[in-house]
């Protein structure tokens, strides 16, 4: 059997320029190409996964797969936390004495071949009974025999195949929403079946009009029609009655009310007519109406659920374990939920701190950008207080836990978030506002019709008034609006903009105040090299020296100077690289001493700094930039400035938002001078930029603005979460903390602010489509209503007109949305 790997190699051999990785199919960097080998790998991860797949005899995977995939990055974890009692309690479901199952979210699931590979888990690992993957959600349900196997081995095996597993969080909520989807689907099916059958009966009735049908049959058909119609109102239609009742209790009008008005009028008149065996039965129209309305709502609901699911997936991917150090110095990996105050936890470099506590050993820098909005990492040492949610950027730390869960800082912030949600002012939705006027006008017209005709004939008056009520039922509000919103939400999701509620689109289509967080939203939220003054020739030397250090500044140096490689001759000369604990690195280049570090570190060595560099250093420090000096032979020769760099697209996005009538303002937890500087750089009046804001202050400001205008909050941190929840629309951006994702209505999953502009533009266009549809529908209602009121409208025309008008408006909605999509090409390819 030829594997895909050899085929690719054979195909690319003549060109010899491109060598594809045997596992992922992407280019192998030139340095890693092994001559004389059939197998080529771009990274250690691909090699490990390739070996694991072959060891399990699952190489068919490569034939099923049709395209290159991103290289897997198997986790280093041992997955021993999967065996802990806390994991069992939280995530494992017992099926019987020896059988258990667990839901795991997998990273790296992309295509059909993944389904095949993952579901072959029982072949690869003895004791696994079944593995079922849901491709869209990337959740696998593994059922296994607890006597033969421990969950950590399942974790390790999935990981070795290239899919890093995480326990699926929020399962109870998923269960509830799954039941809700099923209920809606059943309602839809019942409404559809009834509508279909009622229409068949109605066809017979219409065909037999004018005495072509014996009375006994006619009556029989009418009774059947009544039974079907009432069933439709009582079962799938019950939701409209509940919605309308809830609105009336709150003394408002939502758009269930006009629907219910039509349904009740038609239902009562229909029953009376059936019993008295005269006039029209309206049950065919009513059951079709119920069905169409449910179709629209189901589509919108499904799109919103998809966005919600995608955000929830991110929660599960967030680290859920931490390393607990036992008294005998053994380190155990446990679920975060198992940590209690008094535990000693170890936080490795690059990990997130799991709980509040005090550093017991170790020296490091922690980044609290998501907690406080401070962009610069804070140095911590023994005895320092650290907070859960901060990222450890330096060496590993051991922390004595003091608070967990609701008592921790994040827990306290979450309470502020809850308050923000509870006090969120209700905005009357556009459709509901239209609905309330609609109800008024239609009711008045119906009363007027009845009053006019009752002078001649009471029975005819009732008929005409009922015909008016049914024909004016706001089908466009009930069907076309949710469908338009559903299509818009679906299209936005393909651009990585996840909209959790249709109301957000409606609000974003207006204008008002937009409040932006600075760190992580307008800027990258991490230390970056922002300027370099001095000769380029020193860059490779500095890069080589900084590679030895874990300091955040050193990391930023390495990232920025990755392209500068030291020549072999110089590399041989560089020796004695030593990191000093007080802010710098020194080394020898041949016999010339080199120092790189903070101005204090360089000054201590008695190095002279030329006045031009000293002036620059002073200027940069004024605006919150971290300055690093490079000294060779006792002279400062170069200066590097580090800061939180502004995203490239921020100024353009702010400008575009202003064009769209959204006023931008910055709120940040960072220092005032830094915030002012960022405001100038992105084109916001510095007076409209406030720094040093606590989460409570952000919340208060959002409230203050809400009194005056529509307020949108954009942010990424835990410290923004309360403001996000309270704002009319909260938008969380890429890389945000879990809390901010949960609090926001919209999540932008790709970096930068350009998607925000897309979102606002798309919202405008969507609402324009809805308005156009509304105008058409009102015109239709006006004509049909006038015909019905004057008694010119026979119920037959009524029954034909209603579905036709729905279809017109619906196809119009789809067509106009498609036009929107063509005008603004997507910024990235659709996800599979």
Name the site residues for other proteins (rule: CB under 8 A): 57, 60, 64, 112, 115-116, 119-120, 123, 132-137, 178, 181-182, 185-186, 189-190, 193, 196-197, 200-201, 214, 217, 220-221, 224, 228
Torsion region of 683: left, alpha or beta (phi above 0 gives left; psi -120 to 50 gives alpha): left
Considering the complex, what minimum distance in angstroms separates the CB of residue 196 from other proteins? 8
C-alpha 449/C-alpha 465 separation (Å) is 6
Which residue number, 312 or 728, has a Cβ lying nearer to other proteins?
312
C-alpha 22/C-alpha 761 separation (Å) is 43
Considering the complex, what minimum distance in angstroms separates the CB of residue 197 from other proteins? 6
Considering the complex, what minimum distance in angstroms separates the CB of residue 216 from other proteins? 9
Which residue number, 142 or 678, has a Cβ lying nearer to other proteins?
142
Which residue number, 33 or 227, has a Cβ lying nearer to other proteins?
227
Pairing of β 331-335 and β 321-325: antiparallel
Which residue number, 228 or 261, has a Cβ lying nearer to other proteins?
228
CA distances (Å), origin 172, targets 91, 169, 175, 186, 294: 10, 9, 5, 21, 26
- DSSP for 643-704, please give it: EEEEPTTHHHHHHHHHHTTEEEEEE-SS-HHHHHHHHHHHT--GGGEE-S--HHHHHHHHHH
Which residue number, 228 or 471, has a Cβ lying nearer to other proteins?
228
Which residue number, 131 or 733, has a Cβ lying nearer to other proteins?
131
Which residue number, 197 or 694, has a Cβ lying nearer to other proteins?
197
Question: 241: burial class by Cβ within 10 Å (0-12, 13-18, 19+)?
Answer: middle
Residue with tokens 């991860």: 45
Considering the complex, what minimum distance in angstroms separates the CB of residue 115 from other proteins? 5
Which residue number, 191 or 391, has a Cβ lying nearer to other proteins?
191
User: For residue 383, what are its two tokens?
Assistant: 């005895």
Considering the complex, what minimum distance in angstroms separates the CB of residue 60 from other proteins? 5
How many CA atoms are closer than 13 Å to the CA of 606, on its beta-carbon side? 0
Which residue number, 42 or 131, has a Cβ lying nearer to other proteins?
131
Q: Whose CA is closest to 76, among 315, 314, 333?
A: 333
**Eight-state DSSP code of residue 828:** S
C-alpha 172/C-alpha 180 separation (Å) is 12
Which residue number, 137 or 521, has a Cβ lying nearer to other proteins?
137
Cβ partners under 8 Å of residue 241, min gap 6: 256, 260, 263
Considering the complex, what minimum distance in angstroms separates the CB of residue 204 from other proteins? 9
C-alpha 662/C-alpha 153 separation (Å) is 53
Considering the complex, what minimum distance in angstroms separates the CB of residue 211 from other proteins? 15
Considering the complex, what minimum distance in angstroms separates the CB of residue 395 from other proteins? 44
Considering the complex, what minimum distance in angstroms separates the CB of residue 96 from other proteins? 20
Which residue number, 196 or 425, has a Cβ lying nearer to other proteins?
196
C-alpha 31/C-alpha 247 separation (Å) is 68
Considering the complex, what minimum distance in angstroms separates the CB of residue 63 from other proteins? 8
Which residue number, 303 or 368, has a Cβ lying nearer to other proteins?
303
User: For residue 773, what are its two tokens?
Assistant: 């549809």
Residue with tokens 């650290």: 386
Considering the complex, what minimum distance in angstroms separates the CB of residue 342 from other proteins? 43
Cβ partners under 8 Å of residue 81, min gap 6: 87, 152, 320, 321, 332, 333, 334, 335
CA distances (Å), origin 219, targets 208, 225, 231, 265, 273: 12, 10, 18, 21, 11
User: For residue 40, what are its two tokens?
Assistant: 């080529």
C-alpha 191/C-alpha 290 separation (Å) is 7
Which residue number, 126 or 412, has a Cβ lying nearer to other proteins?
126
C-alpha 830/C-alpha 173 separation (Å) is 28
Task: Summarize the chain as % helix, strand, coil (round to 5).
Answer: 55, 20, 30
Cβ partners under 8 Å of residue 48, min gap 6: 74, 160
Considering the complex, what minimum distance in angstroms separates the CB of residue 205 from other proteins? 12
Considering the complex, what minimum distance in angstroms separates the CB of residue 131 from other proteins? 11
Q: What H or E segment, with its residue span, contains residue 54?
A: helix 44-55
Which residue number, 136 or 768, has a Cβ lying nearer to other proteins?
136
Considering the complex, what minimum distance in angstroms separates the CB of residue 193 from other proteins? 5
Which residue number, 228 or 344, has a Cβ lying nearer to other proteins?
228
Considering the complex, what minimum distance in angstroms separates the CB of residue 192 from other proteins? 9
Considering the complex, what minimum distance in angstroms separates the CB of residue 119 from other proteins? 7
- DSSP for 83-134, please give it: GSHHHHHHHEEE-SSSEEEEEEEETT--SHHHHHHHHTHHHHSTTEEEEEEE
Q: 10 Å Cβ neighbour count for 774? A: 20
C-alpha 612/C-alpha 606 separation (Å) is 18
Which residue number, 200 or 427, has a Cβ lying nearer to other proteins?
200
Considering the complex, what minimum distance in angstroms separates the CB of residue 217 from other proteins? 6
C-alpha 208/C-alpha 217 separation (Å) is 10
Which residue number, 75 or 197, has a Cβ lying nearer to other proteins?
197
Q: Is 243 helix (H, G, I), strand (E, B) or coil?
A: helix
C-alpha 575/C-alpha 624 separation (Å) is 33
CA distances (Å), origin 339, targets 86, 347, 353, 406: 10, 13, 12, 13
């Amino acid at each position: 059997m030829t594997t895909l790997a050899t085929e690719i190699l054979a195909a690319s051999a003549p060109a010899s320029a491109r060598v594809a990785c045997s596992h992922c199919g992407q280019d192998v960097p030139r340095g890693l190409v092994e001559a004389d080998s059939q197998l080529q790998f771009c990274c250690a991860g691909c090699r490990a996964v390739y070996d694991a797949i072959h060891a399990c005899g699952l190489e068919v995977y490569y034939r099923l797969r049709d395209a290159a995939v991103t290289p897997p990055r198997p986790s280093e974890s041992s997955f021993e936390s999967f065996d802990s009692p806390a994991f069992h309690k939280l995530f494992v479901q017992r099926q019987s004495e020896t059988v258990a199952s667990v839901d795991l979210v997998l990273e790296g699931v992309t295509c059909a071949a993944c389904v095949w590979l993952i579901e072959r888990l029982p072949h690869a690992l003895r004791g696994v009974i079944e593995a079922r993957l849901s491709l869209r959600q990337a959740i696998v349900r593994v059922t296994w025999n607890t006597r033969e196997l421990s969950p950590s081995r399942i974790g390790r095996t999935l990981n070795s195949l290239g899919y890093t597993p995480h326990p699926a969080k929020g399962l109870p909520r998923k269960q509830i929403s799954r039941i809700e989807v099923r209920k809606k689907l059943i309602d839809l099916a019942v409404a559809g079946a009834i509508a279909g059958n009622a229409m068949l009966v109605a066809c017979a009735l219409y065909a037999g009009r004018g005495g072509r049908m014996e009375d006994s049959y006619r009556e029989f058909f009418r009774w059947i029609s009544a039974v079907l119609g009432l069933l439709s109102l009582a079962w799938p239609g019950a939701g409209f009655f509940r919605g309308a009742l809830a609105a009336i209790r709150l003394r408002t009008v939502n758009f269930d009310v006009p629907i219910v008005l039509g349904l009740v009028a038609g239902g009562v008149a229909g029953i009376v007519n059936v019993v008295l065996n005269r006039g029209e039965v309206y049950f065919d129209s009513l059951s079709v109406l119920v069905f169409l309305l449910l179709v629209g709502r189901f589509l919108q609901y499904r799109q919103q659920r998809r966005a919600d699911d995608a955000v929830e997936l991110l929660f599960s991917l967030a680290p859920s374990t931490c390393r607990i150090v036992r008294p005998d110095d053994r380190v155990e990996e446990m679920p975060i939920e198992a940590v209690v105050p008094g535990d000693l936890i170890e936080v490795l470099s690059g990990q997130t701190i799991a709980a509040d506590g005090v550093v017991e050993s170790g020296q490091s820098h922690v980044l609290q950008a998501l907690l406080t909005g401070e962009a610069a990492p804070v140095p911590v040492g023994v005895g320092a207080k650290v907070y859960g949610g901060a990222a450890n950027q330096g060496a590993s730390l051991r922390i004595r836990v003091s608070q967990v869960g609701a008592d921790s800082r994040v827990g306290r912030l979450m309470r502020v978030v809850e308050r923000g949600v509870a006090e969120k002012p209700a905005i009357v939705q556009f459709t509901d506002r239209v609905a309330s006027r609609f109800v008024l006008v239609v009711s008045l017209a119906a009363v007027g019709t009845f009053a006019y005709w009752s002078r001649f004939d009471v029975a005819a008056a009732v008929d005409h008034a009922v015909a008016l009520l049914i024909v004016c039922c706001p089908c466009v509000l009930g069907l076309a609006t949710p469908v338009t919103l559903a299509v818009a939400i679906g299209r936005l999701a393909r651009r990585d903009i996840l909209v959790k509620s249709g109301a957000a689109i409606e609000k974003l289509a207006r204008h008002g105040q937009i409040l932006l967080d600075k760190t992580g939203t307008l800027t990258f939220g991490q230390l970056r090299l922002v300027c370099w003054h001095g000769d380029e020739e020193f860059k490779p030397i500095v890069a080589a020296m900084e590679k030895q250090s874990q300091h955040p500044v050193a990391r930023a140096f390495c990232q920025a100077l990755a392209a500068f490689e030291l020549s072999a001759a110089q590399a041989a000369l560089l020796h004695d690289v030593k990191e000093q604990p007080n802010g710098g690195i020194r080394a020898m280049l041949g016999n010339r001493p080199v120092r790189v570090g903070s101005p204090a570190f360089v000054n201590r060595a008695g190095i002279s700094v030329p006045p031009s560099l000293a002036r620059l250093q002073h200027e940069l420090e004024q605006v919150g930039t971290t300055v690093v000096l490079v000294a060779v032979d006792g002279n400062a020769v170069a200066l590097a400035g580090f800061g939180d760099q502004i995203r490239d697209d921020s100024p353009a996005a702010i400008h575009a938002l202003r064009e769209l009538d959204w006023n931008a303002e910055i709120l940040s937890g960072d220092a005032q001078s830094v915030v002012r500087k960022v405001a100038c750089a992105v084109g916001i009046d510095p007076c409209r930029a406030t720094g040093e804001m606590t989460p409570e202050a952000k919340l208060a400001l959002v409230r203050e603005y809400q009194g005056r205008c529509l307020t949108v909050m954009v942010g990424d941190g835990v410290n923004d979460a309360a403001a996000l929840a309270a704002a009319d629309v909260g938008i969380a951006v890429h890389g945000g903390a879990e809390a901010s994702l949960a609090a926001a209505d919209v999540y932008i999953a790709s970096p930068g602010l350009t998607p925000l502009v897309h979102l606002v533009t798309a919202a405008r266009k969507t609402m324009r489509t809805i308005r156009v549809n509304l105008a058409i529908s009102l015109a239709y209602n006006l004509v049909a209503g006038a015909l019905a009121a004057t008694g010119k409208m026979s119920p037959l025309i009524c029954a034909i007109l209603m579905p036709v008008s729905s279809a017109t408006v619906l196809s119009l909605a789809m067509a106009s949305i498609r036009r929107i999509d063509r005008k603004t090409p997507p910024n990235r390819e659709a996800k599979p």
